[in-house]
């Protein structure tokens, strides 16, 4: 009798351990009678919804979690590394190289570099880009960086303002970007002169400056970055800005990842463009501020373009 009492529970455990797949499934169903229902929900199986509309029959969209993990994980890390690396390289390069000075004294003679309308278009688009970059990075890194500074309530107000500003100014930036692409498309074909310019590191290293047309190889590379990554940035931004044009959530999530990736690339390239046009090169900023550059600067940095202007007699001499 004592042996039977001891062996009886053991037989139950043994039989449970060797239960068939069907018996195990029955046990799961007894534990959670709606297991199949939630399994279909996780598999994005469409059901029935009394509310009619886009994706209303889909209770849970699983790709949303994948999007969130990519945004807050690899892409956020990639952005901080690339942007930080770019700034560090530029700072170290400036400490090593310093500003590229003019090799000859200024002549006092000038040539027109950019017209008034071109300068307006550039500065409006550039200003919008800076505002969009600041607000976009604030939304990406704000939880980690700004909440400790502003607090939760302060960041909530700032984030709402940043989002509103970003959404409103995004389409305006697109108009400016497309205008610049159309305006300067014909000046940005890459050719043999540009390849030689790249081989000489654009004159940033050494004392000899390579030949260049009105736009050098670096400026053309920046243009094509804007014409590719910039266009992708704008199109993906429109998908996000106007989500009620029958886009599904997967398209919106993909657009957001493209928007984030292209924004990181453009911001990194923009730092290089700003550095060369300001602290990195003497006289470069004057052209986009006043429209005029000294002939010494034009001959040193864009000699082929300057020779064309000389032939046309378009050199301004204040003494005449």
- The tens digit of pLDDT for each residue in 232-259 reads 999 999 999 998 787 888 899 999 999 9
- The correct CATH number of 66-312 out of 3.30.565.10, 3.40.50.720, 2.60.40.10, 1.20.950.20 is 1.20.950.20
CB 299 within 8 A of CB 113: no
> What is the pTM (predicted TM-score) of this model?
0.83
115 alpha carbon, distance to own chain's centre: 29
Helix (H, G, I), strand (E, B) or coil at 247: coil
- Of 194-198, 230-234, 289-293, 314-318, the range with the lowest mean pLDDT is 314-318
Given a cut of 70, is residue 28 above it in pLDDT? no
Please list the residue range(s) of the chain that carry CATH number 1.20.950.20. Answer: 66-312
**Strand 110-112 versus strand 292-294 pairing type:** antiparallel
Choice between 320 and 4, residue whose per-residue pLDDT is larger: 320
Cα 173 from chain centroid?
14
At residue 147, the pLDDT reads: 93
**∠ Cα 245 250 253 (to 5°):** 90
Mean pLDDT confidence for 206-217? 91
For 38-59, what is each residue's pLDDT tens digit?
A: 676 666 666 667 666 666 676 6
**DSSP-based three-state secondary structure for 319:** coil
Q: Is 14's pLDDT higher than 80?
A: no
């Amino acid at each position: 009798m004592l042996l039977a009492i001891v062996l009886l529970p053991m037989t139950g455990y043994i039989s449970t351990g060797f239960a068939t797949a069907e018996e195990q499934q029955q046990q799961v169903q007894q534990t959670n009678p709606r297991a199949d229902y939630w399994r279909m929900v996780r598999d994005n199986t469409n059901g029935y919804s009394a509310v009619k509309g886009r994706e209303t029959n889909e209770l849970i969209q699983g790709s949303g979690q994948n999007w969130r993990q990519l945004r807050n994980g690899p892409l956020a890390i990639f952005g901080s590394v690339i942007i930080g690396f770019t700034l560090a390289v530029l700072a170290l390069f400036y400490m090593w190289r310093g500003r590229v000075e003019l090799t000859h004294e200024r002549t006092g003679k000038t040539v027109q570099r950019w017209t008034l309308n071109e300068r307006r278009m550039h500065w409006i688009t550039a200003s919008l880009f800076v505002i969009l970059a600041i607000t976009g990075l604030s939304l990406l890194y704000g939880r980690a960086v700004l909440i400790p500074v502003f607090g939760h309530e302060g960041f909530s107000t700032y984030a709402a303002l940043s989002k509103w500003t970003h959404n409103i100014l995004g389409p305006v930036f697109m108009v400016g970007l497309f205008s610049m692409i159309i305006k300067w498309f014909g000046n940005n074909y890459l050719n043999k002169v540009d390849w030689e310019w790249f081989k000489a590191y654009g004159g940033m290293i050494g004392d000899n400056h390579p030949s260049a047309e009105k736009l050098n190889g670096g400026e053309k590379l920046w243009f094509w970055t804007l014409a590719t990554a910039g266009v992708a940035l704008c199109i993906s931004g429109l998908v996000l800005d106007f989500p009620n044009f029958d886009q599904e959530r997967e398209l919106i999530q993909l657009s957001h990842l493209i928007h984030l990736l292209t924004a990181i690339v453009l911001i990194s390239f923009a730092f290089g463009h700003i550095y060369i046009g300001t602290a990195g090169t003497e006289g470069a900023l004057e052209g986009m501020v006043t429209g005029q550059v000294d002939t010494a600067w034009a001959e040193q940095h864009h000699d082929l373009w300057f020779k064309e202007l000389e032939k046309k007699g378009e050199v301004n001499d204040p003494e005449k």
